[in-house]
Amino acid sequence: MTEFLSYKFEDTCEFVNTFDEQPLWSAAFGLLLLKYLELKANIIVLDIGSGTGFPLLELAGRLGNSSKLYGLDPWINANARANQKIRNYDLTNVEIIEGTAERIPFDANTFDIITSNLGINNFTNPDLAFKECNRVIKPKGKLALTTNLNGHWKTFYDVFENTLNEVGKGILIGQLTKEQEHRGTIQSIKDLFIQSGFKVTRFFEDTYVMRFLDGTAFLNHYFIKLGWLSSWRDLIPEADRIVVFTALERNLNELARREGSLVLNVPMLFIEGEK
């Protein structure tokens, strides 16, 4: 039990060469973006948080060589892998740039479209990032993004809260609530668009369903450990972690036994705004 607590992420080129977030996480949102994004010829596109290349490279293939695309990400090793994919796929219309959404290294009025797949939750300063997007988008240009919303994995967080009460650590529930609430609501994301000078033109909701055999499988899954474990672990004082996470794992497993599996719902949003 709780072997997952010893996990430590090491950002190396060896790791990123086997890293693949698409099946578990990125694909569902990226396909939502590709479903609704308007495709036009002769456009310039920026993808913020392009990571190892999805959905940027797929979009480059779907748009073809009349358009030029750029991927922007501060993750050096991921950029190297994306560049290798560009070479492997023989794409000539896409380029990877190292940088952040808060300081986009392009002139004003450069892009027809800016996309971001799941990037908004990782922006250090969302207000500044959106204002930067507005600066580099052409008049009438579009900002289109996908994100998971507040309410993500509600079943898991309900069990986590009950577990904290059970082991006498209910005082930590407020911090757990804050960890959930950094994900936006539809209204809070609309407000970010509007406050940054965009008119919201379209949005579509969907739900991504994730199923695991039980809590043990969930907590030990490589992408759960990579993407979420450290934030949950940091909520709990080190002296209490074994007790809390042992109880959490047990309670998730009990829920999975009752229900047949551990089913987690993720509310998804595609939203588009025009400058």
Give the tens place of pLDDT for each residue, 8-30: 877 787 777 777 666 568 899 99
The token duo for 220 is: 């030990």
Bridge partners, 272 (sequence order): 144, 202
Cβ atoms < 10 Å from Cβ of 170: 13
Residue-wise pLDDT for 132-183, tens only, equals 999 999 999 999 999 999 999 999 999 999 999 999 999 999 999 988 887 8
Residues 196, 130: Cα–Cα separation, whole Å: 6
**Total-model pTM:** 0.90
Q: Which amino acid is located at 70 in the chain?
A: Y
**SS3 call for 152:** coil
pLDDT computed for residue 23 by the predictor? 59
Residues 53, 71: Cα–Cα separation, whole Å: 8
Rg (CA), the chain: 20
Query: Which helix (H) or strand (E) element contains residue 141?
Result: strand 137-148
Residues 82, 79: Cα–Cα separation, whole Å: 5
Tally of domains in the chain? 1
Q: What is the CATH number of the domain that holds 74?
A: 3.40.50.150
Residues 155, 56: Cα–Cα separation, whole Å: 32
Kindly give the pairing relationship between strand 262-274 and strand 137-148: antiparallel
pLDDT computed for residue 14 by the predictor? 76
The token duo for 79 is: 């950029």
Which residues form the domain of 86?
3-274
